[in-house]
Amino acid sequence: MKKNDLYSKEEKFFQDKNKIYSAQSVKQIVYSTDARDFGQVAKSVPCQDACPAKTNIPGYIRTIFEKRYGRAYEINRIANIMPGVLGRICSRPCESACRHGEPDNGRSVGICHLKRSCADLKPSSHRIIEGLYASTGKKVAVVGSGPAGLAAAHDLAILGHEVVLFESMEKPGGMLMYGIPEFRLPRDLLMLEIKNILRLGIKLKTNMAIGPDISLSRLQEDYDAVALATGCVSPRKLGIPGEDFENVHNGLDFMKAVNEGKKPFAGEKVAVIGAGFTAVDCARSAVRLGGKDVSINIRKTFEYMRVDETEKYEAQLEGIKTYSLIQPSKIIGHNNKVTAVEFLRTRMEKTDRPPYRISVPIENSELVVRVDSVIAALGQVSDVNIMPKELSGLDKKTNRTGIDGLFVAGDFATGSSDVISAIAGGRRCAGDIDEYLTGEKRRQKVVRLENHVTTDRPRSYDFISKVEMNTIDMEERLFLSTNEVETGYSDSQARQEAKRCYLCNLKYEIDPLACIYCSACIDVAPKDCIKMIKNVFVNPDGTYGGYEETRDWNKVVSIAIDNTNCIRCGQCLAVCPMDCISVTKTELIEIDT
């Protein structure tokens, strides 16, 4: 297929327009470290800002549209290292921030699904590109091969350090390997992306737990720096009588057992307690183990479940019921085996402190539900037993501890979070270790600004509805419990969904010196995005704040495009008689200092 055939007539029109302009104009690229530019990128590219790893989301979505899946994969990998994994299980803070999901704009772009699609659809000849620094001769031990440990190891290896990765379990991956069910994250894919990291020369030592197998002080002696990234693996307890009966599992152990191929006893009637991803994963796994009446029991209401709508829907589809406004008060057993759970009904109350809405149990409102097993998935806390007592000096900003050369990363440092935060944390820690080892800051973030001439997309794309993820049907799900439920976008679906992105990385500006204040742009604007302003506020950190608007023409100092409201439709660009509206492509990148 010729490249030209990929595009529809309309798309070609836009490309041709591009060509005409680019022949005339010289590419102007500026690298800025101005606080105002950082502020602008953070404010007007909300998805990227919401991403803990600052993935260049509009950038990779645009390359997906251009069918450059390999490039899209690389743009992802620069920031988040494991796109194929994250494209399946990421908690998607970007999608909540997406401008397309704002009121009146429809639904947010399927950013995560697109991330997956570039991993799925990249050509078989795709090659990973890593720019390796010269060897420094320094040795670093990273403890824990979960997302944070892998990310730290990856970056440290690139920076020229010799890395040894210690893992207490049989296989690397941590939570990814043992916490997330296989029907959401196929293990061969996980292993592939882990191997891509290990190929940088990282030595992996599995079945090596700190404490029983090797002491921390030994590591400190043998290595120039040690990073602890052991995550949060100690389950939070229910704290109610009867917790120790047989068939009362904690969610993480249950998932671990399932993922190790063991078949923990679930029985027909399963009560899962908890409102997060693990709870849903446990419930869905219980269905696959033969559970007929599986319920998720939550203290608050559905709204407060810490999972996204698709997860809720998939669980419902698999026949899982959710009972809300109840909390367990007692586990009842017979012959040391669980037979029922006693719950108290709860009601919602207000508090003055976060989270503002809490549930409180109602006195004497006991109810009893018969069960064969209970899975308590209440989240985890970090296992501080392996840490020496001198942890007090923990500096969350630099990931340093009070002990020289000992660093912490990921959930272990921050408390239980999500995979993408752990990866970001791991990478941050690697940067700090590098600075510690080399005595200088070798990498820095800058904003790359490049002139651009079109909106890259017609307005009609704004009205495309979200492309839903393809899933397998119930029978296939139950036929083999490891069958991946989501099957990914096809090539055309991915491109269709990619069209929906507003490309917020394009910044629109009116040149106040060329503007004749005809207000034609204001008339065509579909949003309240072009404003007559008399002042621009400046934040204490040097970034721009909001605009002070005025209706009084005598006070107008400029007509300005509010990029936080702008949906990049380009209508202003089309009507401007003075050609005074410019488009600039902004990109947050990391370069050598």
Out of 192, 362, 391, 589, name the contact with another protein by CB under 8 A. 362
Single out the segment in contact with another protein by CB under 8 A; choices: 21-29, 345-353, 382-390, 446-454.
Answer: 345-353
> Under the criterion CB under 8 A, does residue 364 sit at the interface with another protein?
yes
- For another protein, which is the closer residue by CB, 301 or 496? 301
**Of 52, 1, 59, residue with least CA distance to 587:** 59
Identify the H or E element spanning 360.
strand 357-370
- For another protein, which is the closer residue by CB, 124 or 364? 364
Angle (nearest 5°) at CA 278 between 277 and 281 = 85
State how far the Cα of 451 lies from the Cα of 457, in Å rounded to an integer. 16
> Under the criterion CB under 8 A, does residue 553 sit at the interface with another protein?
no
State how far the Cα of 135 lies from the Cα of 161, in Å rounded to an integer. 6
Site for another protein in 574-593 (CB under 8 A): 574
Out of 19, 107, 203, 321, name the contact with another protein by CB under 8 A. 321
Out of 29, 30, 368, 591, name the contact with another protein by CB under 8 A. 368
Angle between helix 491-499 and 57-65 (nearest 10): 130
- For another protein, which is the closer residue by CB, 335 or 364? 364
State how far the Cα of 173 lies from the Cα of 456, in Å rounded to an integer. 39
Q: For another protein, how many residues bind (rule: CB under 8 A)?
A: 40
> Under the criterion CB under 8 A, does residue 479 sit at the interface with another protein?
no
Measured from the CB of residue 528, what is the shortest distance to another protein in angstroms?
Answer: 7
> Under the criterion CB under 8 A, does residue 108 sit at the interface with another protein?
no
Out of 203, 357, 441, 442, name the contact with another protein by CB under 8 A. 357
Please report the beta strands in 213-356, taking only residues with DSSP state E, as ranges in sequence order: 225-228, 234-235, 248-250, 269-273, 293-297, 321-323, 326-334, 337-350
- For another protein, which is the closer residue by CB, 173 or 242? 242
Measured from the CB of residue 526, what is the shortest distance to another protein in angstroms?
Answer: 5
Sign of CA dihedral 317, 318, 319, 325: negative
Single out the segment in contact with another protein by CB under 8 A; choices: 207-215, 225-233, 271-279, 344-352.
Answer: 344-352
> Under the criterion CB under 8 A, does residue 212 sit at the interface with another protein?
no
Asked whether the beta carbons of 552 and 540 are under 8 A apart, the reply is no
Single out the segment in contact with another protein by CB under 8 A; choices: 342-350, 381-389, 482-490, 506-514.
Answer: 342-350
> Under the criterion CB under 8 A, does residue 347 sit at the interface with another protein?
yes
Angle (nearest 5°) at CA 301 between 471 and 288 = 35
Count CB-CB contacts under 10 A for residue 221.
Answer: 9
> Under the criterion CB under 8 A, does residue 313 sit at the interface with another protein?
yes
Site for another protein in 508-537 (CB under 8 A): 525-528
Measured from the CB of residue 331, what is the shortest distance to another protein in angstroms?
Answer: 15
Per-residue H/E/C for 364-403: EEEEEEECCEEEECCCEECCHHHCCHHHHHCECCCCECCC
Backbone φ and ψ of 530, nearest 5°: -115, 125
**Of 158, 160, 196, 106, residue with least CA distance to 463:** 106
- For another protein, which is the closer residue by CB, 177 or 320? 320
- For another protein, which is the closer residue by CB, 224 or 308? 308
State how far the Cα of 179 lies from the Cα of 187, in Å rounded to an integer. 12
State how far the Cα of 48 lies from the Cα of 460, in Å rounded to an integer. 24
Write the interaction track for another protein spanning residues 278-307; mark x where CB under 8 A is met and - where it is not.
Answer: -----------------------xxx----
Measured from the CB of residue 309, what is the shortest distance to another protein in angstroms?
Answer: 10
Measured from the CB of residue 291, what is the shortest distance to another protein in angstroms?
Answer: 15
> Under the criterion CB under 8 A, does residue 358 sit at the interface with another protein?
no
Single out the segment in contact with another protein by CB under 8 A; choices: 149-157, 235-243, 407-415, 452-460.
Answer: 452-460
Site for another protein in 454-473 (CB under 8 A): 458-460, 462-463
**SS3 category, 258:** helix
Cβ contacts of 209 within 8 Å, gap of 6 or more: 168
Cβ contacts of 348 within 8 Å, gap of 6 or more: 300, 301, 325, 357, 358, 359
- For another protein, which is the closer residue by CB, 364 or 392? 364
Out of 20, 132, 317, 480, name the contact with another protein by CB under 8 A. 317
Measured from the CB of residue 106, what is the shortest distance to another protein in angstroms?
Answer: 10
State how far the Cα of 162 lies from the Cα of 136, in Å rounded to an integer. 8
Measured from the CB of residue 365, what is the shortest distance to another protein in angstroms?
Answer: 4
Q: What is the DSSP letter of 466?
A: P
> Under the criterion CB under 8 A, does residue 345 sit at the interface with another protein?
yes
**SS3 category, 248:** strand
Which residues are at the interface with another protein (CB under 8 A)?
10, 103-104, 301-303, 313, 316-317, 319, 321, 323-325, 340, 343, 345, 347-348, 350, 357, 362, 364-365, 367-370, 458-460, 462-463, 474, 525-528, 571, 574
